[in-house]
Every structure is written in C-alpha cells, then in structure tokens.
C-alpha cells in the first residue's frame, strides 16, 4: 500500500492561509490504513486547525470535512461535487496520486496536499511500515526469492551481496538486514541457489518514460464489470 504522513501543522496553515473556506478531504483506503488521511485523521486535523485558530486569532477559516472511498478514482469524487461549490480550496489528505486526480476533477479549485507521500510498503508491526516496492516496472522477485534488492538493499545492488555486511546487517544502514543475505537464505531454503549466479546489468532509471501507463484491455472493452465500478 502507499504510505504517507500528514504534513506539519504550520506548513498546512501556510498552504490554506489564502482561502477562507477549505474542504479537508480524506481517503478511505491506503491513507486510512497508515493513519495519514482517513475519516479519523480528517477530524483530528480539523480540530487541531480550529483550536489553533481560536488560540491565535489571526486566522478566520471555515473548515468542512469529508472522506471518500479513495481519491485515486475519479468515480468516487462525484459524491462531494455539491460540497465543492461551497469552498475556496480542497486540502487533500490523500497520497500524491489522489491529490492529482482531485485536481483534475476540480480544475477551478486549488487542491493542496496535506500529506507527504513516501513509498509503497508493508506493515511490519502496529504503526510501522517498511518500504517494499519502488514500482520500477521490471519486477525480479521470482529470481530473488521475494526480496526486492532495489528497495531492501540500502545500496540498491542488483548483483549482491557486497563485502560490507556484518552479522547479517548492512554496513550503510546498521538497523537494516542485508537484503542479499536474506535472498541467499531464502533461495537456499527453496533449493534455488543457482539463481545467485545470474548477472543483471545495472539499471538506468533515467530512461524510464514518464508518466507511465498500464491499459487493461479486458476492463477497457467491458467498461469495468459492465459499467460498474470495481472496488
């Protein structure tokens, strides 16, 4: 899932300062799970802004609250079209993708990011998320026993291990397990150590065309479950 954190309150204040009526828009999927922009976080942020406004006296903002199923699908944004007409700006607590989709849907309104988006990750314990995927578009997890060397190796080495690991930890990040030791151990367990002999040429990330697009021809031809939105 996509992992983000809410921006500092003073940065949010600077962002919304020019606008009197602001809709704080939450996202009910990834941002809810990572605690950065679900319905609860929308309420907490609105309360914090109102308390700050009451104490400081220099702000006079009307704050509306709303949360959609997910901001990255324009279909779900139709539920608050009427509310959008009541505000001067939208403060999105979605990820960076959500902010852009909302901005595309409401081109006459400033759409401001309330979160900093970091990575796609997995929960390792309650309240902790670790990066697991860089969305590089060239997945090699079948050859590395399900351990991504691009994200889990601090150096991003594709042909490892290097000579710097000590006691299973990375020399560049002593808190992190050496990804290539993990890869070796898992391949050994699977009886696939021959995969360690493969060589992968270094990746040149600068040649990746942006923005990327994936077209699911089946969904396009059927209109998505005969025109229904897939959730």
pLDDT of residue 226: 45
Per-residue HEC secondary structure of 154-221 comes to CCCCCCCCCCCCECCECCCCCCCECHHHHHHHHHHHHCCHHHHHCCCCCCCHHHCCCCCCCCCHHHHH
Query: Per residue in 69-106, pLDDT tens?
Result: 999 999 999 999 999 999 999 999 999 999 999 999 99
Sorting pLDDT into bands at 50, 70 and 90, what band is 228? Answer: very low
62 in Cβ contact with 53 (< 8 Å): no
**CA 65, CA 230: separation in Å to the nearest integer?**
25
Cβ of 65: how many Cβ atoms within 10 Å?
Answer: 15
Sheet order of strands, 62-68 included: 62-68, 21-27, 89-92, 111-113
Cβ of 139: how many Cβ atoms within 10 Å?
Answer: 12
Coil/strand/helix, residue 68: strand
Mean pLDDT of 149-153: 90
Query: Per residue in 119-129, pLDDT tens?
Result: 998 888 888 88
* Domains (range + CATH), the chain: 2-119 (3.40.50.2300), 134-206 (no CATH)
Burial 15-50 (b: 16+ CB within 10 A, else e): bbeebeebbbbbbbbbbbbbbbbbbebbeebbeebe
The model's pTM: 0.78
* 222 against 140, higher pLDDT: 140
42 in Cβ contact with 80 (< 8 Å): no
């Amino acid at each position: 899932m996509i992992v983000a954190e809410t921006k500092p309150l003073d940065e949010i204040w600077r962002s919304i300062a020019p606008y009197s009526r602001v809709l704080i828009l939450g996202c009910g999927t990834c941002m809810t799970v990572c605690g950065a922009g679900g319905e609860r976080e929308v309420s907490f942020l609105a309360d914090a802004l109102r308390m700050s406004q009451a104490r400081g006296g220099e702000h006079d903002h009307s704050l509306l609250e709303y949360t959609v199923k997910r901001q990255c699908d324009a279909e779900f944004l139709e539920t608050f079209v009427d509310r959008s007409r009541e505000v001067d700006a939208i403060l999105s607590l979605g990820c960076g993708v959500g902010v852009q989709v909302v901005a595309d849907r409401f081109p006459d309104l400033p759409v401001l990011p309330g979160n900093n988006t970091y990575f796609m990750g997995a929960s390792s314990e309650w309240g902790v998320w670790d990066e697991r995927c860089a969305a590089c578009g060239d997945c090699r997890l079948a050859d590395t026993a399900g351990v991504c060397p691009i994200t889990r190796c601090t150096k991003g080495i594709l042909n490892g291990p290097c000579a710097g690991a000590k006691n299973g930890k990375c020399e560049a990040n002593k808190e992190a397990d050496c990804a290539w030791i993990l890869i070796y151990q898992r391949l050994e367990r699977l009886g696939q150590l021959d995969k360690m002999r493969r060589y992968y040429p270094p990746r040149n990330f600068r040649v990746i065309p942006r923005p990327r697009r994936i077209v699911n021809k089946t969904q396009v031809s059927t209109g998505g479950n005969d025109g229904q939105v897939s959730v």
